[in-house]
Amino acid sequence: MIVPEKTLKRDIIYNGRVLKYVVDTVDVNGKEAGREMVFHPGGVGVVAIDDEGFVCMVRQFRKPYEKAILEIPAGKIDPGEEPIVSAKRELTEETGYSANEFRSLGEFYPSVGYTNEIIHIFLATGLTKGESSPDEDEFVDIEKIHIDEIVSMIMSGDIKDGKTIAAIMKTQYIIERNFR
């Protein structure tokens, strides 16, 4: 049985530039409970793949894990920005690539237990190399890796980033089945 929760009170603990941390007091079937949540404006991820099956990946240091992580180009959606616009901007900023075609691969919820973040993922084809222009505090290495190798890296546990796993596996499904 699913029991809806009614918010009785919300305390904003932190309201930052990107994240808002709140604690809600909720009524669950006549009993009070607490819910800690992180609100996020949403993000995008892009699988930029060339005609030979090589994907443009980025490797960058991620402070929460204290190491460099291999992932698809991605970023935050700016206020009022459509996800497709964010995807095009992030691809170019991080890698210098632009694409003739963007296809939505859908959206997913990276961690439903504590955040409302939605990540929109896209497949980009018809790539053209240009100049990257990462944010001033963003340092990335660009690596082109064949999608088959990326899938192997996912299956062996070498790639752990959720948006990359979801986007690459959806892309591989499309390629293998010529899915439209």
Element (H, E) at 145: strand 140-146
Q: Which of 35, 51, 57, 179 is nearest to 116 (CA)?
A: 35
Orientation angle between helical segments 162-177 and 147-156, nearest 10 degrees: 130
Q: What residues act catalytically?
A: 136
CA distance 87 to 142: 17
Residue 56 CA to its chain's centroid (Å)? 15
Give burial (CB, 10 Å; 0-12/13-18/19+) of 56.
buried
**What's the first-to-final CA gap in the chain, in angstroms?**
37
